[in-house]
């Protein structure tokens, strides 16, 4: 519901703040006092197009702010589109600033958004009927949802069954489309996969082969250097040709010298032992160096083989991956794809049978949904017809037009949507002899308002929009019809917050809260103010609506109207 509306520097309004209540809120006042400005301001903060001409003369900018309390689930999807999280307490603050430069700044809960985004939120919060329209009922796409909600639990169960089948049907069709591609393209794909698999497998690659071959090639390319290096090391240790004396001979002589010292002082035994161990290790090391030196052989054939092998690996890497492991994975995936394609014809046959079976069930369910809608439509037509009759539109005719999609001949061409194969539109003939036509084509504003009120009265229980605004829907009516309009609005206000701009006492007397819109002139300045009326002031205002002037008789009649309205509202 709309908790508070703040308006700054809009037309005649300098600054007003209106705190609104649940139930039925009535706005009254003299013609030109500024009631339409308030409705224009609400439209602006709901994202409707607005001109800078609304800015109060002498001001640089106008600001409108509306505070709502709502069920966060109703707007969560729209907020998520903008990466916004709903407030935990359900508070939504819409604000819009219009400057003389023409710039518009829109915000939701303090975050700047586009006007179009604000409009999509506003459509979930308020429905406006009258001279300024933001009417969900004028949007054909909403008619089917309202009819289904009116139809009740049976329809909801049927739609749940239908939607589950539709999801499965679409999934099968998508899988079938993927499998049933161009036969020539499928053959080309199979040939390519076979070639790739064959090329990789013929290479007989081994894990870590590239690294091992690189290492071996480096060794073979440097075989002479390695042999010379090993020979030099062996010479220094054993032959001593380069150094003049083998290192092992020198170390053995050192050990012999230590033998004498050890016999004289056994504290040198540890040094003797350590030197002896080193000599043993060097002897083993010398043998290893000799064996490795003798095993080195330059093999040009092997080197050529390694080069060819590495070239092959490089070629495969360019095609299939950055390393042998990736090439192996590519081959595995190619084998899986080939297997899937080879099985695709068999799978396509099974899926085709499944699609036909699901389509049959889906069509039958869509037929059931259509039949249930027709049942609900008959009841809705009768009940709305009764409401129109009570609103002094005795010759009006309301029709729910349900068109079942029979244009598609073959099963595959049927255009299944989330609501089945139906297109639903509400039609109206306001006067005898006039043809049925869409709601938006009603010429008379008074007729439009009453038709909307009749529909809203019946659909109030299923309509999810929390706040409804009726702007001068009493235009062109009086007496009995005005009394009926008041009754309908009161009924709607039991389930929705209602704001109504009216000139009729029969409507104003039924308000839960009354607000007086007045225009005050001080010198050369004119300002609109809003006052919430208490009991005595409410009686005076309704008396004014009755006769233009407040007399003892009109005051007494106003008090009686309010008393009767309260009694009726309780009933």
Residues 335 and 455 in one domain: no
Phi and psi dihedrals of 513, rounded to 5? -140, 135
* Of 376, 495, 428, 348, the residue nearest 22 (C-alpha): 495
- For residue 502, tell me if it sits in a domain: yes
* Of 41, 189, 170, 68, the residue nearest 126 (C-alpha): 68
Residue 134: predicted pLDDT: 47
- For residue 378, tell me if it sits in a domain: no
Residue 410: predicted pLDDT: 56
Residues 170 and 127 in one domain: no
- For residue 389, tell me if it sits in a domain: no
Q: Are 94 and 65 in contact (CB under 8 A)?
A: yes
Residues 264 and 200 in one domain: yes
- For residue 276, tell me if it sits in a domain: yes
HSE toward the beta carbon, residue 308, CA cutoff 13 A: 7
Tokens of 297: 């052989």
Bridge partner list, 404: 422
Alpha-helix runs per DSSP H in 19-69: 35-45
DSSP calls for 344-394: HHHHHHHHHHHHHHHHHHHHHHHHHHHHHHHHHHHHHHHHHHHHHHHTT-T
- For residue 405, tell me if it sits in a domain: yes
- Kindly report, residue by residue over 22-74, the tens digit of the pLDDT: 999 999 988 888 888 898 899 899 988 888 888 998 899 999 999 998 887 77
* Of 467, 457, 456, the residue nearest 498 (C-alpha): 467
Helix%, strand%, coil% for the chain, nearest 5: 60, 20, 25
Residues 160 and 146 in one domain: no
Q: Is 562 exposed, middle or buried (0-12, 13-18, 19+ CB in 10 A)?
A: buried
Residue 302: predicted pLDDT: 80
Q: Are 1 and 493 in contact (CB under 8 A)?
A: no
Q: How far apart are CA 223 and CA 293, in angstroms?
A: 10
Q: How far apart are CA 312 and CA 305, in angstroms?
A: 11
Residues with Cβ within 8 Å of residue 183, at least 6 apart in sequence: none
Tokens of 231: 């020979």
Per-10-residue mean pLDDT, the chain, length 571 = 93 91 92 86 89 89 92 80 80 92 88 87 81 64 89 92 94 82 76 90 88 81 74 70 68 78 79 85 83 75 84 88 89 88 79 90 94 95 90 88 76 80 92 86 69 82 83 74 86 90 90 92 84 92 85 89 82 64
Q: How far apart are CA 124 and CA 376, in angstroms?
A: 25
**Alpha-carbon distance values, 353 to 171, 172, 348 (Å):** 14, 10, 9
Q: Are 43 and 134 in contact (CB under 8 A)?
A: yes
Tokens of 112: 């700047």
Residue carrying the six token digits 């042998």: 324
Phi and psi dihedrals of 91, rounded to 5? -75, 135
Residues 193 and 211 in one domain: yes
Strands lying side by side in the sheet with 111-113: 13-19, 2-10, 61-69, 91-99, 104-108, 111-113
Containing 2, the helix (H) or strand (E) segment is: strand 2-10
Residue 124 sits in a domain of what CATH number? 3.40.50.300
Domain containing residue 306:
156-364
pTM of the complete model beyond 0.85: no
Residues 145 and 182 in one domain: no
- For residue 544, tell me if it sits in a domain: no
Residues 174 and 268 in one domain: yes
Q: How far apart are CA 185 and CA 94, in angstroms?
A: 55
- For residue 549, tell me if it sits in a domain: no
Residues 148 and 161 in one domain: no
Phi and psi dihedrals of 522, rounded to 5? -130, 105
Number of domains in the chain: 2
Residues 145 and 181 in one domain: no
Residue 183: predicted pLDDT: 66
Q: How far apart are CA 239 and CA 235, in angstroms?
A: 5
Point out the domain boundary residue: 314, 349, 364.
Answer: 364
Residues 114 and 193 in one domain: no
- For residue 374, tell me if it sits in a domain: no
Strands lying side by side in the sheet with 397-404: 397-404, 422-429, 437-438
* Of 49, 109, 102, the residue nearest 85 (C-alpha): 109
Residue carrying the six token digits 């702007």: 471
Residues 451 and 317 in one domain: no
Point out the domain boundary residue: 364, 384, 409.
Answer: 364
Q: Are 439 and 433 in contact (CB under 8 A)?
A: no
Residues 136 and 62 in one domain: yes
Say how far residue 227 (Cα) sits from the centre of its chain: 72
Point out the domain boundary residue: 312, 341, 364.
Answer: 364
């Amino acid at each position: 519901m709309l908790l508070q509306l703040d308006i700054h520097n809009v037309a005649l309004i300098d600054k007003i703040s209106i705190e609104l209540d649940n139930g039925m809120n009535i706005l009254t006042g003299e013609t030109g006092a500024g009631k339409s400005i308030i409705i224009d301001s609400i439209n602006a903060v709901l994202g409707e197009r607005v001109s800078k001409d609304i800015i109060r003369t002498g001001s640089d900018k106008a600001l409108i702010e509306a505070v709502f309390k709502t069920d966060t689930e109703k707007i969560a999807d729209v907020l998520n589109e903008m990466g916004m999280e709903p407030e935990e307490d359900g508070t939504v603050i819409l604000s819009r600033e219009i400057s003389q430069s023409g710039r518009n700044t829109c915000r939701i809960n303090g975050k700047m958004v586009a006007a179009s985004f604000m409009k999509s939120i506003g459509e979930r919060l308020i429905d406006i009927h009258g001279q300024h329209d933001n009417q969900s009922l004028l949007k054909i796409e909403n008619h089917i949802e309202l009819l289904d909600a009116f139809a009740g639990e049976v329809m909801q169960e049927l739609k749940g069954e239908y939607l589950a089948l539709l999801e499965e049907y679409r999934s099968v069709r998508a899988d079938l489309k993927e499998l049933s591609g161009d036969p020539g393209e499928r053959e080309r794909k199979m040939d390519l996969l076979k070639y790739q698999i064959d090329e990789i497998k013929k290479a007989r690659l081994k894990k870590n082969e590239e690294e091992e071959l690189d290492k071996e090639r480096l060794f073979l390319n440097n075989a002479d250097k390695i042999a010379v290096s090993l020979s030099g090391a062996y010479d220094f240790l054993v032959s001593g040709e380069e150094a003049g004396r083998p290192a092992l001979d020198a170390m053995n002589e050192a050990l012999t010298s230590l033998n004498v010292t050890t016999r004289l002082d056994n504290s040198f035994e540890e040094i003797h032992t350590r030197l002896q161990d080193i000599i043993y290790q060097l002897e083993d090391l010398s043998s290893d160096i000799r064996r490795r030196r003798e095993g080195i052989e330059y093999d040009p054939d092997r080197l050529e083989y390694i080069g060819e092998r590495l070239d092959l690996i490089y070629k495969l890497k360019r095609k299939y991956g950055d390393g042998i492991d990736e090439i192996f994975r590519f081959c595995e995936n190619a084998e899986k794809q080939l297997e899937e394609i080879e099985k695709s014809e068999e799978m396509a046959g099974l899926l085709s049978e499944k699609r036909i079976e699901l389509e049959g069930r889906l069509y039958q369910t869509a037929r059931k949904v259509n039949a249930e809608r027709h049942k609900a439509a008959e009841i809705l037509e009768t009940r709305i017809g009764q409401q129109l009759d009570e609103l002094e539109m005795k010759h009006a005719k309301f029709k729910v037009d349900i068109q079942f999609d029979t244009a598609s001949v073959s099963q595959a061409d049927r255009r299944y949507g989330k609501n089945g194969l139906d297109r639903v539109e509400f039609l109206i003939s306001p006067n005898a002899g006039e043809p049925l036509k869409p709601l938006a084509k009603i010429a008379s504003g008074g007729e439009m308002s009453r038709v909307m009120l009749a529909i809203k009265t019946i659909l109030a229980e299923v309509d999810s929009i929390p706040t409804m605004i009726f702007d001068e829907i009493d235009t062109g009516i009086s007496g009995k019809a005005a009394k009926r309009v008041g009754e309908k609005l009161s009924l709607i206000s039991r389930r929705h917050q209602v704001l109504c701009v009216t000139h009729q006492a029969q409507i104003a007397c039924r308000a839960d809260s009354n607000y007086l819109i007045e225009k005050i002139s001080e010198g050369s300045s004119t300002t609109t103010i809003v006052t919430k009326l208490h009991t005595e002031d409410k009686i005076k205002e309704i008396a004014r609506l009755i006769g233009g002037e407040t007399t003892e008789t009109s005051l007494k009649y106003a008090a009686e109207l309010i008393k009767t309205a309260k009694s009726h509202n309780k009933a």
